[in-house]
């Protein structure tokens, strides 16, 4: 049964990805494109000002000990580049069904016998393609701010990218359920994004945060993804990737599992209460 369904689900995934990509690029909006960069750009700019103008290029010894290197701008660039994937998970995958409802296509979508998960995965695949472009763009912009990679561990680089995207997909599925249930357009996605920004170690090493903040950061897949990515590009003095890899895989499985359950639950709830296109 599962084997029979696989080609069908793959078709759904590809078709959804194609539709999403077509919609993104055919109705391209510079304002939308710019919006995705605002937060990473602003953080890079602020970090540059803090590093060069306020603290004259000197980081604290605690920072150097935690990171195993002193290059602050390269440290912050990698975290920021990853942020574009958070944006995709929260704002694209997290609002797939919200927009289906807003456009009046949610009933038609749910009438089809397609796999809902494949549909959501298609949206994620399209978002991942767009995010990769943004990801590269952030690195290119960061070169102007002084980003320098001291190494390139290909396996670790792509492993961190794929595993983080997988875990974020799970978070996107959960966000999708929240935005659809509460008819919320941006608040949930905004809040999620900023929580990831604050607690994932994008702007400072997790080790320097207060203990309670470190506990939150341990539950976020991006924390491990960023650490792996930094290790692949900055080659810190002492780093063992095994713990971060295992944690990232575990979190990915947990989040996608919960996401799948929420996807089923909201569909059941909407069918039962006839809430598909009710605002």
Partner 1 sequence: MFWRVVVAEMKKNVRQFFFSRATLVWAFVLPLGNGLYLYFLYFPFVTKSVELEFNASTYTLDLVGFTLIGQLLYSFFVMVMVVGAAFDREREQGTLEALLLSPANRMAILLGGALASAVWYMWMLIGVLFSWIGFFQVNIIINDFLALFTSVALSYLSLVALGMCLEALFIHSRRGVMYGTMLQEPIMFLSGLIFPLQAMPRGLLVFSYLIPLTFGLISVRLTLLGGASMFDVAVPLGILAFMTATLFILAMWLIGYAERQAKVKATLTQF
Q: Which among 84-92, 159-167, 192-200, 254-262 is the span making contact with partner 1, rule CB under 8 A?
A: 192-200
Q: Does 260 bind partner 1 (CB under 8 A)?
A: no
Q: How far apart are CA 31 and CA 113, in angstroms?
A: 36
- If you ran DSSP here, which 8-state letter would residue 93 be given? G
Integer CA distances (angstroms), 31 to 27, 28, 36, 76, in order: 12, 9, 9, 25
Choosing from 74, 131, 160, 188, the residue that interacts with partner 1 (CB under 8 A) is 188
Query: Which is nearest to 119 in space by CA: 166, 189, 173, 175?
Result: 173
Q: Which listed residue (26, 53, 272, 273) binds partner 1 by CB under 8 A?
A: 53
Residue 235, judged by CB atoms within 10 A of its CB (0-12, 13-18, 19+), counts as middle
- Residue of 11, 15, 33, 59 that binds partner 1 (CB under 8 A): 59
Contact between 43 and 196 under an 8 Å Cβ cutoff? The reply is: no
By CB under 8 A, is residue 180 in contact with partner 1? no
203 binds partner 1 per the rule CB under 8 A: yes
Site for partner 1 (CB under 8 A): how many residues?
44
Q: Does 73 bind partner 1 (CB under 8 A)?
A: no
DSSP code for 206 = G
Does position 69 interact with partner 1 (CB under 8 A)? The reply is: no
For partner 1, the binding residue among 79, 170, 205, 221 (CB under 8 A) is 205
Residue 146: half-sphere exposure toward Cβ, Cα within 13 Å: 13
The only residue of 14, 15, 137, 209 in contact with partner 1, by rule CB under 8 A: 209
Q: Report d(CA 10, CA 119) in Å as an integer.
A: 9
Binding mask of the shown chain, residues 230 to 249, with x at each position contacting partner 1 by CB under 8 A: --------------------
Cβ atoms of 48 and 146 within 8 Å: the answer is yes
Q: How many CB atoms lie within 10 A of CB 98?
A: 23
32 vs 257, beta carbon nearer partner 1: 32
Contact status, residue 94 vs residue 176, Cβ threshold 8 Å: yes
Name the residue among 85, 250, 83, 227 with its Cα closest to residue 157.
227
Q: What are the structure tokens assigned to 223, written together?
A: 């924390």
Q: Using CB under 8 A, which of the segments 3-11, 147-155, 210-218, 265-273 binds partner 1?
A: 210-218
Q: Does 270 bind partner 1 (CB under 8 A)?
A: no
Which span (32-40, 88-96, 119-127, 161-169) binds partner 1, by CB under 8 A? 32-40
Of the two residues 26 and 53, which places its CB atom closer to partner 1 in the complex? 53
Residue 88 is a binding residue for partner 1 (CB under 8 A): no
The verdict on 265 binding partner 1 (CB under 8 A) reads no
Q: State the residues that interact with partner 1 by CB under 8 A.
A: 31-32, 34-35, 38-39, 41-43, 45-47, 49-51, 53-55, 58-60, 63, 72, 75, 182-184, 187-188, 190-191, 194-195, 197-199, 203-205, 208-210, 212-213
């Amino acid at each position: 049964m599962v084997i029979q369904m696989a080609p069908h689900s793959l078709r759904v995934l590809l078709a959804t990805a194609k539709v999403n990509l077509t919609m993104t690029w055919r109705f391209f909006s510079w304002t939308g494109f710019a919006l995705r960069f605002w937060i990473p750009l602003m953080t890079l700019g602020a970090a540059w000002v803090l590093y060069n103008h306020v603290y004259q290029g000197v980081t604290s010894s605690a920072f150097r000990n935690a990171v195993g290197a002193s290059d602050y701008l390269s440290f912050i660039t990698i975290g920021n580049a990853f942020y574009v994937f958070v944006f995709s998970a929260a704002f694209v995958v997290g609002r797939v069904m919200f927009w289906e409802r807003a456009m009046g296509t949610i009933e038609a979508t749910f009438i089809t016998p397609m796999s809902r998960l494949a549909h959501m995965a298609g949206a994620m695949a399209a978002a991942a393609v767009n995010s990769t472009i943004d990801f590269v763009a952030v690195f290119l912009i960061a070169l102007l701010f002084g980003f320098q990679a001291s190494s390139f561990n290909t396996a670790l680089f792509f492993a961190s990218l794929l595993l983080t995207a997988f875990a974020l997909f799970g978070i996107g599925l959960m966000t999708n359920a929240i935005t659809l249930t509460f008819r919320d357009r941006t608040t949930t996605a905004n809040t999620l994004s900023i929580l990831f920004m604050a607690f994932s170690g994008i702007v400072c090493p997790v080790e320097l945060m207060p203990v309670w903040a470190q506990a939150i950061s341990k539950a976020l897949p991006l924390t491990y993804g960023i650490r792996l990515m930094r290790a692949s590009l900055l080659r810190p003095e002492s780093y063992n990737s095994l713990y971060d890899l295992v944690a990232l895989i575990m979190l990915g499985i947990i989040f996608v599992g919960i996401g799948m359950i929420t996807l089923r639950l909201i569909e059941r709830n909407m069918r039962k209460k006839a809430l598909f296109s009710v605002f």
